[in-house]
Structure 1
Amino acid sequence: MKEFIKIHTEDNVFVLLRDYSAGEIIEFGDKTISVKADIPKGHKIAIQDIKKNEGIIKYGQPIGFALEDIALGDHIHVHNAKTKLSGTIEYSFDQKLADRDIQKEDRVFMGYKRKDGSVGIRNELWIVPTVGCVNGTGQMIVDTFKREVDVQSIDHIEVYKHNYGCSQLGDDHENTRKILRGLVKHPNCGGVLVLGLGCENNQVAEFKEFLGEIDEQRIKFLVTQEVEDEIEEGVKQIKEIFDVMKNDRREEVPLSELKVGLKCGGSDGLSGITANPLLGELSDYLIAQGGTSVLTEVPEMFGAETLLMERAKDQETFHKIVDLINDFKEYFLANNQPVYENPSPGNKKGGITTLEDKSLGCTQKAGHSKVVDVLKYGETIKERGLNLLSAPGNDLVAATALAAAGCHIVLFTTGRGTPFGCFVPTMKIASNTELYNRKKNWIDFNAGVLVEDQSMEGVLAAFIDYIVEVANGELVNNEKNQFREIAIFKTGVTL
């Protein structure tokens, strides 16, 4: 089993794969390194002298600069290293596309074919409130319905509660409508009741028009102020929806129909070595089959954004990526916040030192494929292949945005663990085996074995098989635990 790793030949640090004590010796080639202090697993050690203000190199890229002279064997972390990031940057297009030969296979999964040509991997019945005022009403409708009807012929029934839909202006109002539209029209949903109050900004009639073409047998609308007994009327309407969708059956569809979201949270020093590269390999494989992946968390692209820009399919897409990055930086600056206020305390404890360190690990989830499109927050996927999506790093907000964009599954890598789930299966991939063994009620797949002498090829094959099983209907832990939520991005005032 490996005890340390040099990720790139140009690196001047090792990442340690176990806890080291002061005085231990590391032998590497013709080099002997004496460990100068106790250093936890996942953290960095200097493998050469680094002068003050010189770059600290990891993943073959600078992750910051030295605040002081750093000697061979020193622990490198927040006490002696700092980010180089600041404000917005002018970029130039320098395309560097990878040429990977990934075999196309005739793989399939069993999905639900929808009337509009889309495919779902779940057949669920949802209540989507237009405004937070009717969250409780939606829950009462669901509870009453479940007492009267055997729901075992569908996959799940849920009301997706949120706080918005009223007292919002401008972008916030539009963002709420776009995310709710993403729920209502998501192919994992076999039917939905849109539930309104009547006096909210997000008016049901206007929202119905905003949805565009719909299947009116499966999507129904109720304004609670307009009926005498909203529970009775709501139950009646979802019974009608249920009668349509209860006979839906899975059919064989090509893997090219699958769309996955790429997300990480609670990262540690191994995330960029195990779990995130595994998602990158999966993303490249899926795209080679004609499928789609979506990368988000824009603030966690800062410091690694040029690597994504180099992979833009054309100059127009390049400029979209530039706008994606600089618009989000300007959002930080407009609120008098530094663009580099990251990593989190948990990230730092796990060994991530600067935002560049975090970003260079995070963006590995996108593999090596070219970037075909850039989506604004609330937009849905238009092109197959690798897409970038504007959303913050916050786990639930970003996962909700990925699902609303049309992703069937959110693949979520983590080094510290989290139990949450959004409105599609939210699969947790551990960066280390200790986490996988300790939190099996949270974690669905272990990528930590990649530093335990298991090959990427073998782990990837097992991972692909597991994703197909989930697409076929196997539940992931957030579904088993009934952890399903949505969160909507808010930037402006509340009336």
Structure 2
Amino acid sequence: MKEFIKINECDNVIIALRDYKKDEVIDLEGEKITLLEDINRGHKIAIKNINKGENVVKYGLPIGYALEDIKVGSWVHTHNTKTNLKDLNTYSYTPKFTDRKLDLKDIKVNVYKRKNGDVGVRNELWIVPTVGCVNGIAQRIKDAFLAEVGELEIDNINVLTHNYGCSQLGEDHINTRIILQNTVKHPNAGGVLVLGLGCENNQVADFKKTLGEYDGERVKFLISQEVDDEIEIGKNILIELYNQMKNDKREEVSISEINFGLECGGSDGLSGITANPMLGYFSDYIIALGGTTVLTEVPEMFGAETLLMERCKDEKTFEKCVHMINNFKEYFIKNGQEIYENPSPGNKKGGITTLEDKSLGCTQKSGTSKVIDVLKYGEVLKEKGLNLLSAPGNDLVATTALAAAKCHLVLFTTGRGNPYGGYVPTVKISTNTQLYEKKRKWIDFNAGRIVTENMSFEEITKEFIDYIVSVINGEKTNNEKNRFQEIAIFKSGVTL
């Protein structure tokens, strides 16, 4: 097992891959470095003297500047390093494209084909409330349905509860409606009951008018205040949908038909060394086959945004990327918040020092492919290839945004661990082996073997592809086994 790693030849820090004690000696290419203090796994060790004001360099790029003189062998972290980032920036389009050489072989997967040509990796029955007031009613309808039908002959039934749909104005109200509408039409659902109350802002009649094309045999509506017994009527609607869904069968298609969301949370010092680069290889593989991946969490692009901008396919896409970045920064400023109040306490404990440190690791999930399109929050995928999606870094909100954009699965890397899941299969990928061994009921795949078993990215990506194929074909992820399938909608305005 490797004990430390120097990511780029230009770096003036290395990353500890185990816990170190003061006075231990590291041999770095023949140079003996004595550690001046205890340094934990995932944290940075100075391998050169870094003068006050000089840049700390990781991934070959500055991740901040030294607040004081930092001696060789010192721990480099938040106590002696600060971000270089400022509020708003101007950018210029300087395209730079890279082709990663991949051993390509198309893979077939088994999915459900929907009437409109979409495919789903699950055949689930969903209840989607238009307003949080009927969350409890939705659960009662689900319980009554299960009591009558017994053992399910479909993949699952899920109530997608949320707190919104009323007392919202302007953009918040529109965002709630759009996210719920996109969810109703998601191809992982073979049947949907849209459950309203009757007096909410998010009126069912308006919801239907702006829903666009949908399969009326598979999407049904119920307004609770307009009927005597909403539990009984709702149960009967679910049974009607269920009896149609039972006949749905999986069919074979290319893996390139599947849309993959790319996300991370609870990152640590190994995120940019193991799991995130592995997802970058996976993303490039899927895109090379003609498929689609989606990178989100805009605040975790700050500091690495120019690396994404130079990969935009053309100037129009570049301008959309600039707008996405600066629009999110203006959101922080409007609310009187520091743009770079990031990383989180858990990130820092895991070894991430500044937002540049975090972002340079996070954006590796996107690989090296061209950026084909940039989506606003609530927009649905239009073009195959690598897409960027505007959404915050909050895990649940970002996952919901990816699913609402029509991602079939979300691939979620984590160094600290997180048990949650979205309403699409949410694959948890550990950045370190210790987390995988500790949280087997949370984590689905261990990318930490890149370090512990000295695996190459090509080797582990092939294993990861095999696992993803099994999930697409029906193997449940831990969030599905635990029934942790949640929805969260971005809110930025006034609540009445």
Same fold (TM over 0.5): yes
What amino acid is the match of 2:9?
T
Give per-residue Cα distances to partners, 1:148-205, cap 9 Å, x unaligned.
Answer: 0135210000111111001101110011011101210000000000000111111101
2-side partners of 1:128 and 1:290: how far apart? 32
- Structure-to-structure mapping, 1:444-463, within 5 angstroms: 444-452=444-452, 453-463=454-464
Match of 1:178 in 2: 178
Q: Tell me the TM-score normalized by structure 2.
A: 0.99
Confirm or deny: 8 A CA contact 1:126 1:193 kept in the other structure.
yes
- Structure-to-structure mapping, 1:232-271, within 5 angstroms: 232-271=232-271
Match of 2:494 in 1: 493
Paired residue secondary structure (2:18): coil
2-side partners of 1:430 and 1:230: how far apart? 43
Match of 1:362 in 2: 362
- Structure-to-structure mapping, 1:359-398, within 5 angstroms: 359-398=359-398
Match of 1:23 in 2: 23
2-side partners of 1:416 and 1:133: how far apart? 34
2-side partners of 1:240 and 1:83: how far apart? 57
Identity %: 66
- CA shift for structure 1 position 105: 2.0
Matched, 1:323 2:345: no
Confirm or deny: 8 A CA contact 1:263 1:411 kept in the other structure.
yes
Paired residue secondary structure (1:211): coil
2-side partners of 1:121 and 1:474: how far apart? 10
Match of 1:409 in 2: 409
Give per-residue Cα distances to partners, 1:100-150, cap 9 Å, x unaligned.
Answer: 233442311000000111000000000000001111111110000100013
Match of 1:207 in 2: 207
2-side partners of 1:152 and 1:229: how far apart? 24
- CA shift for structure 1 position 456: 1.3
What amino acid is the match of 1:278?
M
1-side partners of 2:20 and 2:103: how far apart? 41
- Structure-to-structure mapping, 1:34-45, within 5 angstroms: 34-45=34-45
2-side partners of 1:435 and 1:482: how far apart? 21
Match of 2:78 in 1: 78
2-side partners of 1:137 and 1:438: how far apart? 37
- CA shift for structure 1 position 85: 1.2
What amino acid is the match of 2:431?
S
What amino acid is the match of 2:71?
A
1-side partners of 2:308 and 2:228: how far apart? 55
Match of 1:54 in 2: 54
2-side partners of 1:152 and 1:334: how far apart? 49
Match of 1:4 in 2: 4
2-side partners of 1:254 and 1:26: how far apart? 48
Match of 1:140 in 2: 140
Confirm or deny: 8 A CA contact 1:46 1:74 kept in the other structure.
yes
Matched, 1:67 2:71: no
Matched, 1:230 2:230: yes
- CA shift for structure 1 position 296: 0.4
- CA shift for structure 1 position 228: 1.0
1-side partners of 2:194 and 2:91: how far apart? 44
1-side partners of 2:384 and 2:491: how far apart? 28
Match of 1:479 in 2: 480
Matched, 1:92 2:86: no
Paired residue secondary structure (1:429): strand
What amino acid is the match of 1:316?
K
- Structure-to-structure mapping, 1:92-171, within 5 angstroms: 92-171=92-171
Match of 1:466 in 2: 467
What amino acid is the match of 2:258?
L
1-side partners of 2:100 and 2:24: how far apart? 41
1-side partners of 2:43 and 2:102: how far apart? 33
1-side partners of 2:53 and 2:108: how far apart? 53
Give per-residue Cα distances to partners, 1:251-274, cap 9 Å, x unaligned.
Answer: 001111011100101111001000
What amino acid is the match of 2:460?
V
- CA shift for structure 1 position 69: 0.7
- CA shift for structure 1 position 307: 0.1
Confirm or deny: 8 A CA contact 1:85 1:339 kept in the other structure.
no
After the TM superposition, list the runs of 4 or more consecutive aligned residues in structure 1 that deviate by more than 4 angstroms: none
Q: Tell me the TM-score normalized by structure 1.
A: 0.99
Confirm or deny: 8 A CA contact 1:86 1:338 kept in the other structure.
no
Give per-residue Cα distances to partners, 1:347-386, cap 9 Å, x unaligned.
Answer: 0000000000000000000000000001111111111110
Confirm or deny: 8 A CA contact 1:103 1:288 kept in the other structure.
no
Give per-residue Cα distances to partners, 1:283-309, cap 9 Å, x unaligned.
Answer: 000111111100000000000000000
Aligned-CA RMSD value: 0.8
Alignment length (residue pairs) = 495
What amino acid is the match of 1:226?
E
1-side partners of 2:212 and 2:394: how far apart? 30
- CA shift for structure 1 position 345: 0.5
2-side partners of 1:258 and 1:381: how far apart? 12
Give per-residue Cα distances to partners, 1:390-411, cap 9 Å, x unaligned.
Answer: 0000000101111111111110
Paired residue secondary structure (2:318): helix
What amino acid is the match of 1:428?
K
Which structure 2 segments of 5+ residues have no match?
none
Paired residue secondary structure (1:239): helix
Give per-residue Cα distances to partners, 1:427-458, cap 9 Å, x unaligned.
Answer: 10000000000100000000001012112111
2-side partners of 1:254 and 1:350: how far apart? 38
- Structure-to-structure mapping, 1:300-319, within 5 angstroms: 300-319=300-319
Paired residue secondary structure (1:363): helix
Paired residue secondary structure (1:51): coil
1-side partners of 2:276 and 2:101: how far apart? 20
- CA shift for structure 1 position 211: 1.1
Paired residue secondary structure (2:210): helix
2-side partners of 1:267 and 1:37: how far apart? 24
Which structure 1 segments of 5+ residues have no match?
none
- Structure-to-structure mapping, 1:191-206, within 5 angstroms: 191-206=191-206
2-side partners of 1:463 and 1:411: how far apart? 11
- CA shift for structure 1 position 459: 0.6
Confirm or deny: 8 A CA contact 1:23 1:35 kept in the other structure.
yes
2-side partners of 1:223 and 1:28: how far apart? 68
2-side partners of 1:171 and 1:56: how far apart? 40
1-side partners of 2:29 and 2:166: how far apart? 64
Q: Which moved more, 1:245-254 or 1:448-457?
A: 448-457
Paired residue secondary structure (1:483): coil
2-side partners of 1:371 and 1:460: how far apart? 21
Give per-residue Cα distances to partners, 1:31-64, cap 9 Å, x unaligned.
Answer: 2111010000100011101111110000011000
